[in-house]
A and B are shown apart, each in its own frame.
Chain A
């Protein structure tokens, strides 16, 4: 029940509400818990509320770290 889905902000309707692209549909979500969110940001959404911004930098770093480590052999 605590699953949250990722989406990308495509429009800010007002300070508290945004339109989010969820892949096949767009949906209005509440932005009250993310006051500094901008158009283009990726977020996770749960029960109609954006809960947090997803850091693309952190996501890519995790993946790249694993790729580079395994191309050299075992991770220590």
Chain B
């Protein structure tokens, strides 16, 4: 399969040239951190016409995870903490997980939650469950498998978050001015395009599900412009994304989890935007097993991250950006992860 066709410069250039026929101003939000990185990597923000603004949204799971989680994990004693590498450099109030590991804590980086389940055969293991709908099915399946194996050395700290409720919260904010959404391609693989119907029905704007290659993204922008006055949900990523999503994965999610409130760093508490482990799987719920409470944290008042996550300001407008707040010394959540808006701007768009 010639997937590299989606990088063809000539086709990308043709579409960008077409965008120049559009003369009004439009602001589109790329919800997903991987889109933010792709847009920065390919220099698309500067290539498209100046009247089309791309702003970055809250779609980076590490960025919206409260840093109090890091403190709670470091406080756990006599267990192995298994985490995706994305979380390892996030500062808690005193240390990162990486620093705690250097100081002797038993913290291991894993690629898959199933690797954490393997670790539990030898040692008491807590897997740090961060992620959106793309990541959630694998974690759900791992909990089902732990239950089948009766592997009670294993538990998951559920910090999982759902995209549609966050979009509701964002679009309900009267200060957020967006003409269209570039919707997350791989979240959509699981939940399907129909999960976004409310975006056009309730909020009167269009959304386009796109892939991550440059052609996908510029084509997505062109499709959004074509539907500015006829709101609807468009699927540019039909080679992978369907209307219904992956129903087998959805069943695994509902088997293990039920919706609950979740704290989004920078955005606060959003109703029904998180997932709690069902009582049937209580033995695998690290919150209950270790009596962990995750509190809402006090943000640095000069940090503009909550406004960056809502697309109200660009990272460059934050007084801390690239001065006090850098990837080596991240102050706000958007600088913490390599997929955070501020980290992407720091790397590609200064």
Chain A residues close to B by CB (< 8 Å): 1-4, 6, 30, 32-35, 42, 44, 46-49, 51-56, 58-60, 62-63, 66-67, 70, 74-75
Given contacts A30-B138, A55-B239, A58-B238, contact A4 B189 (CB under 8 A): yes
Chain B, residues 209-227, CB within 8 Å of chain A (1/0): the string is 0001001000100100000
Supposing A1-B33, A1-B337 touch, asked if A51 and B1 sit within 8 A by C-beta, the answer is no
Cα distance A58–B252 in the bound complex, in angstroms: 27
Question: A51 vs B134: C-alpha distance in the bound complex, in angstroms?
Answer: 8
A10 vs B241: C-alpha distance when bound (angstroms):
23
With A44-B186, A46-B135 known, 6 other A-B pairs at CB within 8 A are: A1-B60, A1-B339, A2-B34, A42-B1, A47-B113, A63-B8
Please measure, in the bound complex, the distance between the C-alpha atom of A53 and the C-alpha atom of B189, giving whole angstroms.
10
A-B pairs with lowest CB-CB distance, top 9: A48-B112, A58-B239, A59-B239, A2-B134, A49-B138, A33-B249, A63-B5, A2-B186, A3-B34
Bound: A70/B86 CA distance, A: 41
A35 to B141, CA, bound (A): 14
| Residue in contact with B32 in the complex, picked from A2, A30, A56, CB distance below 8 Å | A2
Q: Residue B331 at the A interface, CB < 8 A? A: no
User: Would you give the shortest CB distance from B34 to chain A, in whole angstroms?
Assistant: 5
Identify 24 residue pairs between A and B in the complex whose beta-carbon atoms are under 8 Å apart, listed by A's number. Answer: A1-B33, A1-B62, A1-B339, A2-B185, A3-B34, A6-B1, A30-B141, A46-B138, A47-B84, A47-B111, A47-B135, A48-B112, A48-B115, A49-B112, A49-B138, A51-B246, A52-B189, A52-B246, A59-B6, A62-B219, A62-B238, A63-B2, A66-B14, A70-B14
CA distance A42 to B1 in the complex (A): 8
**For residues 109 through 145 of chain B, which have their beta carbon under 8 Å from a beta carbon of chain A?**
111-115, 130-132, 134-135, 137-138, 141
A67 touches B187 (CB 8 A): no
The size bracket of the interface on B is: 35 or more
The answer to whether A2 touches B138, judged by C-beta atoms less than 8 angstroms apart, is no
Hey, which chain A residues are within 8 Å of B102, CB to CB?
none
Give the distance to chain A from B81, nearest Cβ to Cβ, in Å: 17
* Chain A interface mostly: mixed
Whether a CB of chain A sits under 8 angstroms from the CB of B158 is no
With a CB–CB cut-off of 8 A, which chain A residues contact B339? 1
Using CB atoms, name the residue of chain A closest to B63: A1
A49 touches B137 (CB 8 A): yes
**CB pair A1 B34 closer than 8 Å:** yes
Q: Does B208 contact A (CB under 8 A)?
A: no
In whole angstroms, how far apart are the Cα atoms of A46 and B134 in the complex?
7
**Residues in A neighbouring B60, C-beta threshold 8 A:** 1
Task: Identify which of B11, B184, B185 contacts A67 (C-beta below 8 A).
Answer: B11
B238 pairs with A55, CB closer than 8 A? yes
Q: Are B11 and A59 in contact (CB under 8 A)?
A: no
Task: Give every chain B residue within 8 A of A53 (Cβ-Cβ).
Answer: 240
Contacts of A2 in B (CB 8 A): 32-34, 59, 61, 131-132, 134-135, 184-187
B240 contacts A44, C-beta separation under 8 Å: yes
Bound CA span A36–B190, Å: 16
Which chain B residue lies CB-closest to A6? Answer: B3
Q: B1's contact among A35, A56, A62, A74, by CB below 8 Å, is which?
A: A56
CB-CB < 8 A to B15: which residues of A?
66, 75
Q: Which residues of A contact B62 (CB under 8 A)?
A: 1
Q: How far is the CA of A52 from the CA of B137 in the complex (A)?
A: 12
**B18 interface residue (CB < 8 Å to A):** yes
Question: What does the 1/0 interface line of B172-190 toward A look like (CB < 8 Å)?
Answer: 0000000000001111011
Q: Are A47 and B32 in contact (CB under 8 A)?
A: no
